[in-house]
Amino acid sequence: MEANLTRLKMDKDFLANLEKEKKEALKNEDIVKLYDVLDTYLALDMDEVDIDMLYQKILERAFDTLADMLTKGEVFDISKDSDLYTARAIYEHALERWDRKEYKGANELFLILSYVIGDESLQRGMFLALGLTAKKVPLDEFIQNYVDHEKLDENSLFFDKFTKKGEEFLKSERDLINKELKKIEKLSGASQ
């Protein structure tokens, strides 16, 4: 595998094609293609500046799409790649904030995702993250103790398979999660 990656990093045709794909994805602001290019850059351990630029463009596109969806009262249709990758971007950003112990910001993103994710399994994942960030449980603890790694596969984009501890948390902390879910009224201004 490592030898193949090294070969690709030196293949001029491959790199020229990757550059062309990057420019096209940036021009069209296509989140799926942006992620394809980003994932390739990450796999090949390419230039950090390009990686950061691609990720920032992905986040900009995702949050613009989310704002538009919220305005229209729409939810993600996870069967559509564009919706799936938009949700992925927001979810990854929420995980980054959680990792930096920015619990309030992460919590708000999981709250919003819990309302706009159309998939029940993914929604439960947002509920668990919502409850854990409300309790200020560190991200590492969530990943180690609440995520069932054996049920995730290499293509999983979300932590949506839980250990027994994760399932128990969802049941035992139902009141806390419901309390957190009511905050959406505040965020939307409905309580005013």
Q: What is the pLDDT of residues 54-81, one digit of tens each?
A: 999 999 999 999 999 999 989 999 999 9
87 in the same domain as 179: yes
Classify residue 119: in a domain, yes or no.
yes
Rounded CA-CA distance 89/64 in Å is 12
**Residue range of the domain that includes 79:** 75-186
Q: Is residue 191 part of a domain?
A: no
Q: Specify the number of domains making up the chain.
A: 2
DSSP state of 80: S
| Assigned domain for 144 exists | yes
- Mean pLDDT, the chain, as a whole number? 92
Please indicate, yes or no, whether residues 58 and 79 belong to a single structural domain of this protein.
no
Which alpha helices (DSSP H) does the chain contain, by range?
A: 2-10, 12-28, 31-43, 48-72, 81-99, 103-116, 120-134, 139-145, 164-172, 174-181, 183-188
DSSP class per residue in 137-156 = --HHHHHHHTB-TTT--TT-
Residue 183 has pLDDT above 60, yes or no: yes
- Which two tokens mark 181? 């879910």
pTM for this entry: 0.90
Domain contains 70:
no
Query: Is 67 part of a structural domain of the chain?
Result: no
pLDDT cut 90: percent of the chain above it: 79
- 120 lies in the same domain as 144: yes
> Which of 89, 86, 170 lies closest to 130 in space, CA to CA?
170
| pLDDT band at residue 190 under the 50/70/90 scheme | very low
Which of 34, 62, 90 is the last residue before a domain boundary? 62
Residues 13 and 48 in one domain: yes
